[in-house]
Amino acid sequence: MMEIAGLSGILGAWYDFRDLNNLQRLITEWIADWGPDWLASIVTGLLGALGILGVIGPTLLVLIWVERKVIARFQQRYGPNRVGPKGLLQPVADAVKLILKEQLAPRAADKLIFFLPPVLIFIPGILIWGVLPFGPRMSVADLNVGVLFLLAVSGTAVLVIFMAGWSSNNKYALLGAMRAVAMSISYEVPMVLALLTLVVFSGTMSINGIVEWQQQEDVIFILLFPLTALVFFFAASAELNRTPADISEAESEIVAGYHTEYSGMRFGLFYAVELGNTLVVSGFIATFFLGGWWLWGLDEWVPSWIILLAKTGAVYFLLIWTRGTLPRLRVDQLMSLCWKALVPATLLFVVVAFVERTLLISEGWDTTIALPIMAVINIGLSLGAIMLFARVARPADLRRPARIRMAGAEIGGLRAARSVAARSEEPQFQVGGD
Amino acid sequence: MSDFGFHLAFWSLAAMTIGGASMIMVSRNLIHAVVWLVLSMLGVAGLYLTLSADFIAVVQVLIYVGAISVLMLFAIMLTPRAERDNSSSLKTAGPAGVVVIMVMIATFWVAIDTDWGSVREVALTDQARLIGESLIKHYILPFEIGAVLLTAALVGAIALAREDDEDAAVHAASLQAELDGLEFDPVDVVDPPIPAEPESEARS
């Protein structure tokens, strides 16, 4: 009775953990036997939402520990090692501390808008999980317009960040918010173009469809569009405010950016959502460029969601790696990198994708022969573009500075640097001697 | 979809849309107005969803909530604070009211006058593909014109925002003069005088 056509026995039973969708489907069918329609849809929705929350809540606690440990390893120190075995309970202690802390609000803050952002920031952070496919039939909502949904939902988070920064009535918070907004709308362009490449090439806007295309053609997109993958990776880390690009909360420049004035668990919520977004974006990078839940037939033997989680973990480690290794870019460097390097690079590959897709579809080229050739051509093009950027076309802001930067452009604290720079033939640090 | 759920969704979304729109009028603070506007737009996106138009709904969120509102916030942040918020006087209320009433009358006229057909068949599933196809096939000319227009706007914006080399030099020189406490004459930058011997003012 509970069997799907063509499968028998263990397949499709509730304990077939290879596809958790079975469990949900059986519950729905069971309710539909005796209950009204709406109860089944409500239970299904709740199961999806609670499943997401129940998984990412504990995962975040572990991830905080993982990230701190790995970063510490990169920086040749121990990291958390006092609370619990190997410091494993440190995130729990931190969470308790954050909850017990006093919730301060600046007197001049815009009260209503100040209280909303820590709550609102959760909405895109949770919604975005809904379209991540964990298996062939394992996404909470397999939308036809999944890619657009992803972009739309992640775009709304900017607004919340702006609300947070503006309502704090603090110069640093506002600066951080404006930086976040400017960076986000800039880095959305290469992200959209990168996803457009995939959508054009696979001919579908459904995220599961993109994975299925990779499965069908036996290729992962990072081989076909390596530079696009790289750009998407960096743009995503910029959208996530992670360290090579975390100018909107750069501690050395603007205290903590848009959440400067948030204390206690309100800050904790921002932090949690940031970590959760990092995880889900790793998942999406794995889905788009590494084949998602599919891995050359291994998904026959290993549950698809374990494959996806493994790939997600690998991408997440890459994100920690870049965070631990690369220095923070300056705000103007970040902008110029986006507009002068990433956007042209992705545009190039959008055109390439159009041409190759036309060759495959209209000219009817055999994909088993054409795709490897295209992959080789695209890898060559990517290397060429990177070489061109590194040797010839690098924007002036990203070259190694020949003199002290920003020394002549600002007043105040940089006066010293300026006056040193002006007398560079005889450097000395006796500033304001008269 | 059960009837009750549909009605619940429609009425709550309608309340969200209209409530947000009314709060825009009421709120004095322009940033608050933008936040309410976003709420209203989200309600409209939800209404699209109840009409099974998921592509339009997602695009509504992507463009209006994600982009237009941010654009508005930028515009507000670049406006002088004194002119930013809604004025407390009702000087302009009369003309504005007349305009609003005329627009309302026109809208209602069209809405009542139109012969609204009802769609019997199930909603289209692959809307993005259909919209794309009709854009490329039937409406290719408007589509291309729109593309050219947007490109022209982009180039124009860059041309407006771009700082001349000359302007930049004057700006930098004025800052430097301010630092050094010297008199500043922009003509010297554009037409630099013959350099005298290197100054040594900071040595004391």
Cβ pair A360, A370 in contact under 8 A:
yes
Count of CB pairs separated by less than 8 Å, A with B = 87
- Tens digit of each residue's pLDDT (9 = 90 or more) over A139-171: 777 777 888 888 888 888 888 888 888 888 888
CA nearest neighbour of A177 among A236, A102, A121, A131: A121
A12 found inside a domain: no
pLDDT score recorded for residue B109: 92
Is this prediction's ipTM beyond 0.85? no
Q: Has residue B151 got a pLDDT over 90?
A: yes
- B38 interfaces chain A, CB cutoff of 8 Å: yes
Look at B62 and A152 and tell me if their CB atoms are within 8 Å.
Answer: yes
Full domain range(s) for residue A263: 106-396
pLDDT score recorded for residue B8: 85
More confident residue, B10 or A415: B10
pLDDT score recorded for residue A118: 87
A55 found inside a domain: no
How close does chain B come to A159, measured CA to CA in Å? 7
For residue B66, which residues of chain A lie inside 8 Å, CB to CB? 151-152, 155-156, 158-159
SS (H, E, C) A292-345: CCCCCCHHHCCCHHHHHHHHHHHHHHHHHHHHHHCCCCCHHHHHHHHHHHHHHH
pLDDT score recorded for residue A4: 44
- Looking at the structure of chain A, the number of domains it has is 1
A29 found inside a domain: no
pLDDT score recorded for residue A396: 66
- A100 interfaces chain B, CB cutoff of 8 Å: no
pLDDT score recorded for residue A408: 47
Contacts of residue A350, defined as CB under 8 A and 6 or more positions apart, other chains included, come to: A193, A196, A197, A200
Q: B1-83 architecture in CATH?
A: Up-down Bundle (1.20)
Look at B32 and A423 and tell me if their CB atoms are within 8 Å.
Answer: no
**pTM for the structure as a whole:** 0.79
Q: Which of A31, A38, A112, A362 to mutate to test the interface with B (most CBs of B within 10 A)?
A: A38
Helix (H) or strand (E) holding A62: helix A37-74
More confident residue, A195 or B76: A195
Residue ranges in chain A modelled with pLDDT below 50: 1-10, 407-413, 427-428, 431-434
How far apart, in whole angstroms, are the C-alpha atoms of residue A23 and residue A346? 41
Domain assignments of chain B as residue spans, ordered by start:
1-83
Cβ burial, residue A210 (10 Å; 0-12/13-18/19+): buried
Contacts of residue A131, defined as CB under 8 A and 6 or more positions apart, other chains included, come to: A139, A140, A141, A142, A143, A146, A149, A150, A207
pLDDT score recorded for residue A410: 47
- B109 interfaces chain A, CB cutoff of 8 Å: no
Q: Once rounded to an integer, what is the mean pLDDT over residues B152-179?
A: 75
For residue B179, which residues of chain A lie inside 8 Å, CB to CB? 411, 415, 418
Interface subset of B 144-183, CB within 8 angstroms of A: 172, 175-176, 178-179
A335 found inside a domain: yes
pLDDT score recorded for residue A412: 46
How close does chain A come to B122, measured CA to CA in Å? 16
How far apart, in whole angstroms, are the C-alpha atoms of residue B192 and residue A378? 51
A275 found inside a domain: yes
- Tens digit of each residue's pLDDT (9 = 90 or more) over A303-355: 778 888 888 989 999 988 888 888 888 787 888 888 888 888 899 899 988 88
Q: Once rounded to an integer, what is the mean pLDDT over residues B66-88?
A: 74
- Tens digit of each residue's pLDDT (9 = 90 or more) over B15-35: 999 999 998 888 877 888 888
pLDDT score recorded for residue B83: 60
Which residue of A144, A178, A181 is in closest CB contact with B54? A144
pLDDT score recorded for residue B164: 66
